[in-house]
Amino acid sequence: MEKLFNSFKECFPFRTTRTGAKYSAFYSVNNPAFDLDQLYANAIASQDQDEADVPAADAAATAFADHPQHDRAPSAEDAPSNHSSPLSSLPSSRAPSPHRPSDPPVALEPPIAAKRKRPSQKPKAPKKKKALAKPLYPPPPPPAPSPDLSGYHPIVGGASQAKKRRSRTNRAKNARRSDGWIAPELRPVDARHLERAKEEEVNVDLLNDMPVTSTAFTAKREDGETKLYTREELVNKHGMRYCEWDGETPTGIVSPDGRTFAVLAGKPKDPEWDSVAESLAESIAAAADHITFPSAAKDHRRGKFGAQAQGVSHGGGQTEPANLKHTVALTAVLAYLVALPAMIRVAHFASSAFACWAPRLFAYYAQTMLTLFTFDPSLERNFPRSIFACLTINFGPRTVTYRHRDFGNLPFGWCAITALGKFNPDLGGDLVLWECGLVVRFPPGSTVLIPSAIINHSNTVIGREETRYSVTQYSSGALFRWVEHGCMLDDKYCMLDDKYYASLSCKDLLAAEEANEARWKNSMQMWSTMDELKARARDIS
Protein backbone atom coordinates (compact mmCIF):
# COMPACT_ATOMS: atom_id res chain seq x y z
CA MET A 1 0.00 0.00 0.00
CA GLU A 2 2.82 2.35 0.83
CA LYS A 3 4.40 1.70 -2.56
CA LEU A 4 1.08 2.36 -4.24
CA PHE A 5 0.69 5.60 -2.35
CA ASN A 6 4.24 6.69 -3.20
CA SER A 7 3.68 5.94 -6.87
CA PHE A 8 0.48 8.00 -6.73
CA LYS A 9 2.44 10.89 -5.23
CA GLU A 10 5.01 10.65 -8.01
CA CYS A 11 2.27 10.80 -10.67
CA PHE A 12 0.22 13.45 -8.93
CA PRO A 13 2.53 15.45 -6.65
CA PHE A 14 1.02 17.63 -3.96
CA ARG A 15 1.30 21.36 -4.40
CA THR A 16 2.83 23.63 -1.81
CA THR A 17 1.77 27.17 -1.02
CA ARG A 18 4.05 29.98 0.14
CA THR A 19 3.15 29.20 3.74
CA GLY A 20 4.30 25.59 3.35
CA ALA A 21 0.84 24.06 3.31
CA LYS A 22 0.35 21.19 0.89
CA TYR A 23 -2.78 20.45 -1.00
CA SER A 24 -3.98 18.29 -3.87
CA ALA A 25 -6.34 18.97 -6.75
CA PHE A 26 -8.27 15.79 -5.90
CA TYR A 27 -11.12 15.59 -3.47
CA SER A 28 -10.83 13.35 -0.44
CA VAL A 29 -13.91 11.18 0.06
CA ASN A 30 -14.39 9.88 3.58
CA ASN A 31 -16.16 6.51 3.31
CA PRO A 32 -15.89 4.49 6.53
CA ALA A 33 -17.13 1.34 4.75
CA PHE A 34 -14.20 1.36 2.27
CA ASP A 35 -11.32 -0.96 3.36
CA LEU A 36 -8.58 -1.38 0.74
CA ASP A 37 -6.68 -4.01 2.75
CA GLN A 38 -9.77 -6.17 3.04
CA LEU A 39 -10.50 -5.86 -0.67
CA TYR A 40 -6.90 -6.90 -1.46
CA ALA A 41 -7.12 -9.96 0.84
CA ASN A 42 -10.44 -10.99 -0.69
CA ALA A 43 -8.90 -10.85 -4.16
CA ILE A 44 -6.00 -13.14 -3.13
CA ALA A 45 -8.38 -15.61 -1.49
CA SER A 46 -10.54 -15.73 -4.61
CA GLN A 47 -7.50 -16.49 -6.79
CA ASP A 48 -6.36 -19.30 -4.46
CA GLN A 49 -9.83 -20.84 -4.55
CA ASP A 50 -9.79 -20.96 -8.35
CA GLU A 51 -6.43 -22.79 -8.32
CA ALA A 52 -7.71 -25.28 -5.72
CA ASP A 53 -10.77 -26.11 -7.81
CA VAL A 54 -8.68 -27.34 -10.80
CA PRO A 55 -7.13 -30.51 -9.14
CA ALA A 56 -10.49 -31.34 -7.66
CA ALA A 57 -12.05 -31.40 -11.10
CA ASP A 58 -9.13 -33.56 -12.40
CA ALA A 59 -9.59 -36.13 -9.64
CA ALA A 60 -13.32 -36.31 -10.24
CA ALA A 61 -12.77 -37.04 -13.92
CA THR A 62 -10.32 -39.88 -13.14
CA ALA A 63 -12.72 -41.50 -10.70
CA PHE A 64 -15.53 -41.33 -13.24
CA ALA A 65 -13.39 -43.07 -15.86
CA ASP A 66 -12.30 -45.91 -13.51
CA HIS A 67 -15.78 -46.73 -12.21
CA PRO A 68 -16.67 -50.44 -12.92
CA GLN A 69 -20.09 -49.62 -14.32
CA HIS A 70 -18.66 -47.28 -16.92
CA ASP A 71 -18.46 -49.69 -19.93
CA ARG A 72 -17.35 -48.23 -23.22
CA ALA A 73 -15.11 -49.15 -26.16
CA PRO A 74 -11.63 -47.70 -26.21
CA SER A 75 -11.02 -44.96 -28.72
CA ALA A 76 -8.32 -42.70 -29.87
CA GLU A 77 -9.62 -39.97 -27.64
CA ASP A 78 -8.42 -42.00 -24.59
CA ALA A 79 -4.81 -41.69 -25.63
CA PRO A 80 -2.61 -39.64 -23.35
CA SER A 81 -2.60 -36.01 -24.26
CA ASN A 82 0.48 -33.88 -24.41
CA HIS A 83 -1.44 -30.72 -23.52
CA SER A 84 -0.21 -28.97 -20.44
CA SER A 85 -3.69 -27.83 -19.45
CA PRO A 86 -5.05 -29.77 -16.48
CA LEU A 87 -8.51 -29.73 -18.03
CA SER A 88 -7.39 -31.93 -20.96
CA SER A 89 -8.05 -35.14 -18.98
CA LEU A 90 -11.73 -34.44 -18.50
CA PRO A 91 -14.01 -36.93 -20.42
CA SER A 92 -16.05 -35.66 -23.32
CA SER A 93 -19.81 -36.09 -23.38
CA ARG A 94 -21.02 -39.45 -24.77
CA ALA A 95 -24.27 -41.35 -25.28
CA PRO A 96 -25.35 -43.97 -22.70
CA SER A 97 -23.85 -47.45 -23.06
CA PRO A 98 -25.87 -49.74 -25.45
CA HIS A 99 -25.20 -52.78 -23.29
CA ARG A 100 -27.19 -51.53 -20.27
CA PRO A 101 -29.82 -49.15 -21.54
CA SER A 102 -32.13 -49.70 -18.57
CA ASP A 103 -29.58 -49.13 -15.85
CA PRO A 104 -30.05 -45.81 -14.19
CA PRO A 105 -27.08 -43.54 -14.08
CA VAL A 106 -25.06 -43.75 -10.91
CA ALA A 107 -24.47 -40.52 -9.11
CA LEU A 108 -20.86 -40.27 -8.10
CA GLU A 109 -19.57 -38.02 -5.42
CA PRO A 110 -16.29 -36.44 -6.41
CA PRO A 111 -13.46 -37.14 -3.98
CA ILE A 112 -12.33 -34.36 -1.76
CA ALA A 113 -9.51 -32.54 -3.42
CA ALA A 114 -6.27 -32.26 -1.58
CA LYS A 115 -5.78 -28.89 -0.08
CA ARG A 116 -2.81 -26.94 -1.31
CA LYS A 117 -0.63 -25.20 1.14
CA ARG A 118 -1.16 -21.50 1.08
CA PRO A 119 1.49 -19.01 1.91
CA SER A 120 1.51 -18.21 5.56
CA GLN A 121 -0.61 -15.19 6.40
CA LYS A 122 -0.89 -13.35 9.62
CA PRO A 123 -4.18 -14.06 11.37
CA LYS A 124 -6.43 -11.06 11.19
CA ALA A 125 -8.32 -9.84 14.14
CA PRO A 126 -12.09 -10.05 13.76
CA LYS A 127 -13.57 -6.82 12.51
CA LYS A 128 -15.41 -4.91 15.15
CA LYS A 129 -19.03 -4.17 14.41
CA LYS A 130 -19.91 -0.53 14.48
CA ALA A 131 -22.31 0.48 17.17
CA LEU A 132 -25.72 1.49 15.91
CA ALA A 133 -26.53 5.17 16.17
CA LYS A 134 -28.90 6.08 18.93
CA PRO A 135 -32.38 7.02 17.66
CA LEU A 136 -33.30 10.68 17.80
CA TYR A 137 -36.65 9.97 19.37
CA PRO A 138 -37.70 7.35 21.90
CA PRO A 139 -39.67 4.41 20.53
CA PRO A 140 -43.43 5.01 20.35
CA PRO A 141 -45.44 3.71 23.27
CA PRO A 142 -47.46 0.55 22.74
CA PRO A 143 -50.99 1.17 21.46
CA ALA A 144 -53.59 1.74 24.12
CA PRO A 145 -56.07 -1.05 24.61
CA SER A 146 -59.39 -0.57 22.85
CA PRO A 147 -62.13 0.69 25.17
CA ASP A 148 -64.88 -1.65 26.18
CA LEU A 149 -67.97 -0.44 24.36
CA SER A 150 -70.15 -3.38 25.24
CA GLY A 151 -72.28 -1.30 27.61
CA TYR A 152 -72.36 1.87 25.49
CA HIS A 153 -75.68 2.82 23.91
CA PRO A 154 -75.75 6.15 21.96
CA ILE A 155 -78.68 8.40 22.69
CA VAL A 156 -80.73 9.06 19.59
CA GLY A 157 -83.79 11.07 20.40
CA GLY A 158 -85.92 14.09 19.84
CA ALA A 159 -83.44 16.69 21.12
CA SER A 160 -80.70 15.56 18.73
CA GLN A 161 -83.05 15.33 15.77
CA ALA A 162 -84.58 18.73 16.51
CA LYS A 163 -81.12 20.30 16.61
CA LYS A 164 -80.30 18.78 13.24
CA ARG A 165 -83.55 20.08 11.76
CA ARG A 166 -82.84 23.59 13.05
CA SER A 167 -79.35 23.42 11.62
CA ARG A 168 -80.67 22.38 8.20
CA THR A 169 -83.26 25.15 8.30
CA ASN A 170 -80.65 27.77 9.18
CA ARG A 171 -78.34 26.59 6.43
CA ALA A 172 -81.17 26.78 3.92
CA LYS A 173 -82.05 30.31 5.04
CA ASN A 174 -78.44 31.44 4.79
CA ALA A 175 -78.16 29.91 1.34
CA ARG A 176 -81.27 31.74 0.15
CA ARG A 177 -80.02 35.00 1.62
CA SER A 178 -76.59 34.68 0.04
CA ASP A 179 -77.83 33.51 -3.37
CA GLY A 180 -80.13 36.47 -4.04
CA TRP A 181 -81.05 39.95 -2.91
CA ILE A 182 -84.16 39.36 -0.83
CA ALA A 183 -85.63 41.26 2.09
CA PRO A 184 -85.32 39.24 5.32
CA GLU A 185 -88.45 38.47 7.26
CA LEU A 186 -89.08 40.40 10.46
CA ARG A 187 -87.92 38.22 13.33
CA PRO A 188 -89.07 38.33 16.96
CA VAL A 189 -85.76 39.92 17.90
CA ASP A 190 -86.46 42.68 15.36
CA ALA A 191 -89.94 43.15 16.80
CA ARG A 192 -88.49 43.61 20.29
CA HIS A 193 -85.97 46.02 18.76
CA LEU A 194 -88.81 48.17 17.40
CA GLU A 195 -90.98 47.90 20.51
CA ARG A 196 -88.34 49.47 22.71
CA ALA A 197 -87.42 52.10 20.12
CA LYS A 198 -87.63 55.79 20.87
CA GLU A 199 -88.09 58.70 18.51
CA GLU A 200 -86.42 62.07 18.15
CA GLU A 201 -88.52 64.59 16.22
CA VAL A 202 -86.78 67.35 14.32
CA ASN A 203 -88.05 70.33 12.38
CA VAL A 204 -87.05 69.73 8.78
CA ASP A 205 -88.98 70.10 5.52
CA LEU A 206 -88.01 67.04 3.53
CA LEU A 207 -90.19 67.77 0.51
CA ASN A 208 -89.17 71.35 -0.22
CA ASP A 209 -85.84 72.04 1.45
CA MET A 210 -83.74 69.09 0.31
CA PRO A 211 -81.10 69.68 -2.44
CA VAL A 212 -82.10 66.90 -4.84
CA THR A 213 -81.63 66.91 -8.61
CA SER A 214 -84.54 66.93 -11.06
CA THR A 215 -84.45 63.14 -11.43
CA ALA A 216 -83.97 62.52 -7.67
CA PHE A 217 -81.28 59.92 -8.35
CA THR A 218 -78.55 62.14 -6.93
CA ALA A 219 -78.25 65.32 -4.87
CA LYS A 220 -76.98 68.71 -5.90
CA ARG A 221 -73.32 69.45 -5.50
CA GLU A 222 -72.06 72.06 -3.07
CA ASP A 223 -68.79 73.02 -1.48
CA GLY A 224 -68.31 71.95 2.12
CA GLU A 225 -66.11 73.57 4.72
CA THR A 226 -62.83 72.58 6.31
CA LYS A 227 -63.54 73.65 9.88
CA LEU A 228 -63.82 71.32 12.87
CA TYR A 229 -66.16 72.07 15.76
CA THR A 230 -66.46 71.13 19.38
CA ARG A 231 -69.71 70.17 21.04
CA GLU A 232 -69.74 73.37 23.07
CA GLU A 233 -69.44 75.53 19.95
CA LEU A 234 -72.32 73.80 18.21
CA VAL A 235 -74.64 73.90 21.21
CA ASN A 236 -73.78 77.35 22.54
CA LYS A 237 -73.01 79.31 19.37
CA HIS A 238 -75.07 77.51 16.71
CA GLY A 239 -78.03 76.70 18.92
CA MET A 240 -78.04 72.97 18.25
CA ARG A 241 -79.61 70.40 20.54
CA TYR A 242 -77.49 67.74 22.20
CA CYS A 243 -78.90 64.18 22.05
CA GLU A 244 -77.25 62.09 24.76
CA TRP A 245 -77.66 58.75 23.05
CA ASP A 246 -76.33 55.69 24.90
CA GLY A 247 -75.31 53.98 21.65
CA GLU A 248 -77.66 51.04 22.25
CA THR A 249 -81.29 52.20 22.40
CA PRO A 250 -82.77 52.22 18.87
CA THR A 251 -84.02 55.72 18.10
CA GLY A 252 -85.78 56.99 15.01
CA ILE A 253 -85.27 60.56 13.80
CA VAL A 254 -88.69 61.68 12.64
CA SER A 255 -89.81 64.56 10.42
CA PRO A 256 -92.94 66.64 11.25
CA ASP A 257 -95.02 64.49 8.89
CA GLY A 258 -94.06 61.37 10.86
CA ARG A 259 -91.51 59.87 8.43
CA THR A 260 -88.52 58.11 10.01
CA PHE A 261 -85.85 59.34 7.61
CA ALA A 262 -82.84 58.50 9.81
CA VAL A 263 -82.15 55.92 12.54
CA LEU A 264 -79.80 55.59 15.47
CA ALA A 265 -79.69 51.80 15.15
CA GLY A 266 -77.34 51.08 18.06
CA LYS A 267 -75.70 47.68 18.42
CA PRO A 268 -76.75 44.01 18.76
CA LYS A 269 -77.72 42.60 22.14
CA ASP A 270 -74.45 40.71 22.44
CA PRO A 271 -72.19 41.00 25.52
CA GLU A 272 -69.17 40.39 23.27
CA TRP A 273 -70.05 43.09 20.73
CA ASP A 274 -67.64 45.61 22.23
CA SER A 275 -64.83 43.08 21.79
CA VAL A 276 -65.88 42.59 18.17
CA ALA A 277 -65.73 46.34 17.53
CA GLU A 278 -62.37 46.67 19.29
CA SER A 279 -60.84 43.83 17.28
CA LEU A 280 -62.04 45.42 14.03
CA ALA A 281 -60.53 48.77 15.02
CA GLU A 282 -57.21 47.08 15.79
CA SER A 283 -57.25 45.29 12.44
CA ILE A 284 -57.92 48.54 10.58
CA ALA A 285 -55.11 50.29 12.45
CA ALA A 286 -52.68 47.47 11.67
CA ALA A 287 -53.70 47.40 8.01
CA ALA A 288 -53.12 51.15 7.68
CA ASP A 289 -49.39 50.54 8.21
CA HIS A 290 -49.32 48.52 4.98
CA ILE A 291 -51.07 51.13 2.83
CA THR A 292 -49.46 54.04 1.03
CA PHE A 293 -52.28 56.53 0.68
CA PRO A 294 -52.13 58.93 -2.27
CA SER A 295 -52.48 62.57 -1.35
CA ALA A 296 -56.08 62.68 -2.59
CA ALA A 297 -56.99 59.78 -0.29
CA LYS A 298 -55.66 61.29 2.93
CA ASP A 299 -56.52 64.98 2.50
CA HIS A 300 -59.94 65.38 0.90
CA ARG A 301 -63.21 67.26 1.29
CA ARG A 302 -64.37 64.95 4.09
CA GLY A 303 -61.30 65.45 6.28
CA LYS A 304 -57.63 64.70 6.80
CA PHE A 305 -57.50 60.94 7.21
CA GLY A 306 -56.84 57.93 5.02
CA ALA A 307 -59.89 56.46 3.29
CA GLN A 308 -60.38 53.72 0.70
CA ALA A 309 -63.53 52.34 -0.94
CA GLN A 310 -64.32 48.76 -1.93
CA GLY A 311 -67.21 47.40 -3.96
CA VAL A 312 -69.36 48.38 -6.94
CA SER A 313 -69.59 52.00 -8.01
CA HIS A 314 -70.94 54.10 -10.87
CA GLY A 315 -70.62 57.74 -11.79
CA GLY A 316 -67.68 60.10 -11.91
CA GLY A 317 -67.04 59.42 -15.59
CA GLN A 318 -67.69 55.66 -15.56
CA THR A 319 -69.53 54.37 -18.62
CA GLU A 320 -71.09 51.50 -16.67
CA PRO A 321 -71.14 50.07 -13.14
CA ALA A 322 -67.92 48.28 -12.25
CA ASN A 323 -65.86 46.95 -9.36
CA LEU A 324 -63.49 49.52 -7.95
CA LYS A 325 -59.88 48.93 -9.02
CA HIS A 326 -56.81 49.32 -6.80
CA THR A 327 -53.15 48.38 -6.78
CA VAL A 328 -52.26 44.77 -6.06
CA ALA A 329 -51.10 45.56 -2.52
CA LEU A 330 -54.14 47.69 -1.66
CA THR A 331 -56.50 45.11 -3.16
CA ALA A 332 -55.00 42.45 -0.89
CA VAL A 333 -55.35 44.63 2.22
CA LEU A 334 -58.97 45.57 1.49
CA ALA A 335 -59.89 41.97 0.67
CA TYR A 336 -58.39 40.90 3.99
CA LEU A 337 -60.37 43.49 5.95
CA VAL A 338 -63.65 42.77 4.17
CA ALA A 339 -63.27 39.05 4.92
CA LEU A 340 -62.77 39.56 8.67
CA PRO A 341 -65.57 38.02 10.77
CA ALA A 342 -65.85 41.27 12.74
CA MET A 343 -66.29 43.30 9.54
CA ILE A 344 -68.91 40.87 8.26
CA ARG A 345 -70.87 41.12 11.51
CA VAL A 346 -70.81 44.92 11.40
CA ALA A 347 -71.96 44.97 7.77
CA HIS A 348 -74.74 42.44 8.29
CA PHE A 349 -76.07 44.22 11.38
CA ALA A 350 -76.32 47.50 9.48
CA SER A 351 -78.19 45.83 6.62
CA SER A 352 -80.51 44.05 9.06
CA ALA A 353 -81.32 47.34 10.79
CA PHE A 354 -82.06 48.86 7.37
CA ALA A 355 -84.61 46.11 6.61
CA CYS A 356 -86.16 46.46 10.05
CA TRP A 357 -86.71 50.23 9.92
CA ALA A 358 -87.49 50.77 6.21
CA PRO A 359 -88.87 47.56 4.66
CA ARG A 360 -90.25 49.27 1.53
CA LEU A 361 -86.99 51.09 0.86
CA PHE A 362 -85.05 47.88 1.49
CA ALA A 363 -87.23 46.03 -1.03
CA TYR A 364 -86.51 48.74 -3.62
CA TYR A 365 -82.77 48.35 -2.97
CA ALA A 366 -83.04 44.56 -3.19
CA GLN A 367 -84.86 44.59 -6.52
CA THR A 368 -82.41 47.08 -8.01
CA MET A 369 -79.33 45.19 -6.84
CA LEU A 370 -80.77 41.89 -8.04
CA THR A 371 -81.35 43.33 -11.52
CA LEU A 372 -77.92 44.93 -11.60
CA PHE A 373 -75.93 41.91 -10.46
CA THR A 374 -77.92 39.58 -12.70
CA PHE A 375 -77.26 41.80 -15.72
CA ASP A 376 -73.51 41.87 -15.02
CA PRO A 377 -72.26 38.72 -13.22
CA SER A 378 -68.74 40.16 -13.03
CA LEU A 379 -69.84 42.54 -10.27
CA GLU A 380 -68.79 41.39 -6.81
CA ARG A 381 -70.64 41.81 -3.52
CA ASN A 382 -68.70 42.81 -0.44
CA PHE A 383 -70.82 40.72 1.93
CA PRO A 384 -73.30 37.88 1.35
CA ARG A 385 -76.12 39.48 3.38
CA SER A 386 -75.59 43.20 2.98
CA ILE A 387 -77.90 45.30 0.81
CA PHE A 388 -75.25 47.95 0.11
CA ALA A 389 -73.16 47.96 -3.05
CA CYS A 390 -70.06 49.68 -1.67
CA LEU A 391 -68.24 50.51 1.54
CA THR A 392 -65.52 52.92 2.61
CA ILE A 393 -63.04 52.25 5.40
CA ASN A 394 -61.77 55.38 7.14
CA PHE A 395 -58.33 54.46 8.45
CA GLY A 396 -57.89 57.50 10.69
CA PRO A 397 -56.10 57.33 12.99
CA ARG A 398 -58.23 60.33 13.97
CA THR A 399 -61.28 60.18 11.69
CA VAL A 400 -63.06 63.47 12.33
CA THR A 401 -65.01 64.64 9.29
CA TYR A 402 -65.74 68.13 8.05
CA ARG A 403 -69.28 69.23 7.32
CA HIS A 404 -70.19 67.58 4.02
CA ARG A 405 -72.83 65.71 2.00
CA ASP A 406 -72.29 62.56 -0.05
CA PHE A 407 -74.21 63.95 -3.04
CA GLY A 408 -73.42 60.95 -5.26
CA ASN A 409 -75.52 58.61 -3.13
CA LEU A 410 -79.23 57.98 -3.57
CA PRO A 411 -81.00 61.00 -1.95
CA PHE A 412 -83.70 58.97 -0.24
CA GLY A 413 -81.33 56.06 0.42
CA TRP A 414 -79.43 55.39 3.60
CA CYS A 415 -75.76 55.36 4.45
CA ALA A 416 -74.73 53.12 7.35
CA ILE A 417 -71.97 54.53 9.60
CA THR A 418 -70.29 52.45 12.32
CA ALA A 419 -67.94 54.25 14.73
CA LEU A 420 -64.81 52.46 15.94
CA GLY A 421 -61.72 53.26 17.97
CA LYS A 422 -60.65 54.33 21.44
CA PHE A 423 -62.07 57.73 22.32
CA ASN A 424 -64.28 59.17 25.04
CA PRO A 425 -67.77 59.68 23.56
CA ASP A 426 -68.68 61.97 26.47
CA LEU A 427 -66.10 64.49 25.26
CA GLY A 428 -66.06 64.20 21.46
CA GLY A 429 -66.61 62.17 18.34
CA ASP A 430 -70.29 63.20 18.14
CA LEU A 431 -72.38 62.90 14.98
CA VAL A 432 -73.59 66.33 13.85
CA LEU A 433 -76.74 66.46 11.67
CA TRP A 434 -76.79 70.08 10.52
CA GLU A 435 -80.23 70.36 8.87
CA CYS A 436 -81.75 68.57 11.88
CA GLY A 437 -79.99 70.82 14.41
CA LEU A 438 -78.78 67.74 16.35
CA VAL A 439 -75.48 66.83 18.00
CA VAL A 440 -75.72 63.10 18.73
CA ARG A 441 -73.45 61.26 21.14
CA PHE A 442 -71.89 58.51 19.01
CA PRO A 443 -69.98 55.84 21.02
CA PRO A 444 -67.60 53.28 19.47
CA GLY A 445 -69.28 50.12 18.20
CA SER A 446 -72.61 51.83 17.43
CA THR A 447 -74.27 52.19 14.01
CA VAL A 448 -76.48 54.92 12.52
CA LEU A 449 -78.41 55.12 9.22
CA ILE A 450 -78.77 58.56 7.61
CA PRO A 451 -79.61 59.98 4.14
CA SER A 452 -76.06 61.24 3.68
CA ALA A 453 -76.77 62.75 0.23
CA ILE A 454 -79.19 65.40 1.52
CA ILE A 455 -78.20 65.90 5.19
CA ASN A 456 -74.93 67.66 5.99
CA HIS A 457 -73.06 65.69 8.65
CA SER A 458 -69.75 65.89 10.48
CA ASN A 459 -67.98 64.90 13.71
CA THR A 460 -66.83 66.86 16.72
CA VAL A 461 -63.15 66.84 17.64
CA ILE A 462 -61.56 64.16 19.83
CA GLY A 463 -58.44 64.17 22.03
CA ARG A 464 -54.96 64.21 20.53
CA GLU A 465 -54.08 60.83 21.98
CA GLU A 466 -57.40 59.25 21.02
CA THR A 467 -58.12 57.20 17.90
CA ARG A 468 -61.27 56.99 15.82
CA TYR A 469 -62.06 54.89 12.76
CA SER A 470 -65.29 54.26 10.91
CA VAL A 471 -66.86 51.95 8.33
CA THR A 472 -69.53 53.32 5.99
CA GLN A 473 -71.80 51.39 3.60
CA TYR A 474 -73.78 53.02 0.81
CA SER A 475 -75.02 52.70 -2.78
CA SER A 476 -74.44 55.20 -5.56
CA GLY A 477 -77.55 56.86 -6.98
CA ALA A 478 -76.18 56.28 -10.48
CA LEU A 479 -76.66 52.54 -9.98
CA PHE A 480 -80.41 53.01 -9.52
CA ARG A 481 -80.59 55.33 -12.52
CA TRP A 482 -78.68 52.78 -14.62
CA VAL A 483 -81.12 50.00 -13.75
CA GLU A 484 -84.26 52.12 -14.13
CA HIS A 485 -83.08 53.22 -17.58
CA GLY A 486 -82.73 49.65 -18.78
CA CYS A 487 -79.07 49.22 -17.80
CA MET A 488 -77.76 52.02 -19.98
CA LEU A 489 -76.32 55.49 -19.50
CA ASP A 490 -78.64 58.41 -18.82
CA ASP A 491 -77.74 60.26 -22.02
CA LYS A 492 -78.31 57.14 -24.12
CA TYR A 493 -81.60 56.54 -22.37
CA CYS A 494 -82.79 60.12 -22.87
CA MET A 495 -81.36 60.70 -26.30
CA LEU A 496 -80.58 57.34 -27.92
CA ASP A 497 -78.33 59.14 -30.36
CA ASP A 498 -80.65 62.18 -30.50
CA LYS A 499 -83.62 60.03 -31.52
CA TYR A 500 -85.24 59.08 -28.21
CA TYR A 501 -87.27 62.21 -27.53
CA ALA A 502 -88.03 62.55 -31.24
CA SER A 503 -89.61 59.11 -31.16
CA LEU A 504 -91.84 59.94 -28.17
CA SER A 505 -95.30 61.27 -28.57
CA CYS A 506 -96.26 64.42 -26.72
CA LYS A 507 -98.15 62.36 -24.18
CA ASP A 508 -95.19 60.04 -23.50
CA LEU A 509 -92.79 62.97 -23.30
CA LEU A 510 -94.99 64.71 -20.74
CA ALA A 511 -95.27 61.49 -18.73
CA ALA A 512 -91.48 61.11 -18.64
CA GLU A 513 -91.02 64.66 -17.36
CA GLU A 514 -93.72 64.20 -14.72
CA ALA A 515 -92.12 60.95 -13.55
CA ASN A 516 -88.83 62.75 -12.97
CA GLU A 517 -90.53 65.52 -11.03
CA ALA A 518 -92.61 63.12 -8.90
CA ARG A 519 -89.79 60.71 -8.12
CA TRP A 520 -88.63 62.60 -5.04
CA LYS A 521 -92.14 62.97 -3.66
CA ASN A 522 -92.95 59.32 -4.27
CA SER A 523 -89.64 58.12 -2.89
CA MET A 524 -90.35 59.74 0.47
CA GLN A 525 -93.21 57.27 0.89
CA MET A 526 -90.64 54.50 1.19
CA TRP A 527 -89.71 55.78 4.65
CA SER A 528 -91.91 54.21 7.32
CA THR A 529 -93.70 56.05 10.09
CA MET A 530 -93.24 55.14 13.73
CA ASP A 531 -96.88 54.04 13.93
CA GLU A 532 -96.35 51.60 11.06
CA LEU A 533 -93.24 50.19 12.67
CA LYS A 534 -94.86 49.75 16.09
CA ALA A 535 -97.91 48.03 14.55
CA ARG A 536 -95.67 45.72 12.56
CA ALA A 537 -93.75 44.81 15.69
CA ARG A 538 -96.96 44.00 17.55
CA ASP A 539 -98.08 41.68 14.76
CA ILE A 540 -94.87 39.68 15.01
CA SER A 541 -94.71 39.50 18.79
Residue 432: exposure state from Cβ atoms within 10 A (0-12, 13-18, ≥19)? buried
The model's pTM: 0.66
Residues 540, 409: Cα–Cα separation, whole Å = 33
pLDDT given at position 153? 47
As a whole number of angstroms, the longest Cα–Cα distance in the chain is 148
- Mean pLDDT check: name the lowest of 220-229, 257-266, 447-456, 523-532: 220-229
CA angle 70, 72, 73 (to 5 degrees): 155
pLDDT given at position 480? 94
Residues 6+ apart with CB under 8 A from 245: 251, 264, 440, 441, 442, 443, 446
pLDDT given at position 188? 86
- Mean pLDDT check: name the lowest of 111-115, 252-256, 326-330, 349-353: 111-115
pLDDT given at position 149? 46
Q: Is the pLDDT of residue 413 over 70?
A: yes
Residues 333, 339: Cα–Cα separation, whole Å = 10
Phi and psi angles of residue 529, each rounded to the nearest 5 degrees, phi first:
-95, 160
- Mean pLDDT check: name the lowest of 22-36, 99-113, 519-533: 99-113
pLDDT given at position 389? 96
pLDDT given at position 376? 93
**All domains in the chain, ordered by first residue:** 184-531 (3.60.130.30)
Q: Is the pLDDT of residue 70 over 70?
A: no
Q: Is the pLDDT of residue 22 over 70?
A: no
What is the arithmetic mean of pLDDT over 201-220? 92
Residues 44, 378: Cα–Cα separation, whole Å = 83
Q: Is the pLDDT of residue 87 over 80?
A: no
Residues 436, 321: Cα–Cα separation, whole Å = 33
3-state secondary structure (DSSP) of residue 469: strand
Whether 365 and 475 have beta carbons less than 8 Å apart is answered as yes
3-state secondary structure (DSSP) of residue 364: helix
What is the arithmetic mean of pLDDT over 20-34? 63
pLDDT bracket for residue 497 (50, 70, 90): very low
3-state secondary structure (DSSP) of residue 541: coil
Whether 202 and 436 have beta carbons less than 8 Å apart is answered as yes
- Mean pLDDT check: name the lowest of 35-39, 87-91, 166-170, 271-275: 87-91
What is the arithmetic mean of pLDDT over 186-202? 89
pLDDT given at position 176? 46
Residue 42: exposure state from Cβ atoms within 10 A (0-12, 13-18, ≥19)? exposed
Whether 250 and 263 have beta carbons less than 8 Å apart is answered as yes
Mean pLDDT is highest, among 72-76, 127-131, 461-465, for 461-465
- Mean pLDDT check: name the lowest of 69-78, 119-128, 498-507: 69-78
Q: Which residues of 210-239 are buried (b: 16+ CB within 10 A; e: fewer)?
A: bbbbebbbbbeeeeeeeebbebeebeeeee
What is the arithmetic mean of pLDDT over 410-420? 97
Q: What is the pLDDT of residues 305-340, one digit of tens each?
A: 999 999 999 977 778 999 999 999 999 999 999 999
The more confident residue out of 67 and 189 is: 189
3-state secondary structure (DSSP) of residue 438: strand
- Mean pLDDT check: name the lowest of 69-73, 87-91, 401-405: 87-91
Which DSSP state fits 455?
Answer: S
pLDDT given at position 505? 74
Q: What is the pLDDT of residues 179-193, one digit of tens each?
A: 557 777 788 888 888
What is the arithmetic mean of pLDDT over 351-372? 95
Partners of residue 486 on adjacent β-strands? none
pLDDT given at position 50? 59
pLDDT bracket for residue 64 (50, 70, 90): very low
Q: Is the pLDDT of residue 243 over 90?
A: yes
Q: Is the pLDDT of residue 111 over 70?
A: no
Partners of residue 431 on adjacent β-strands? 440, 459
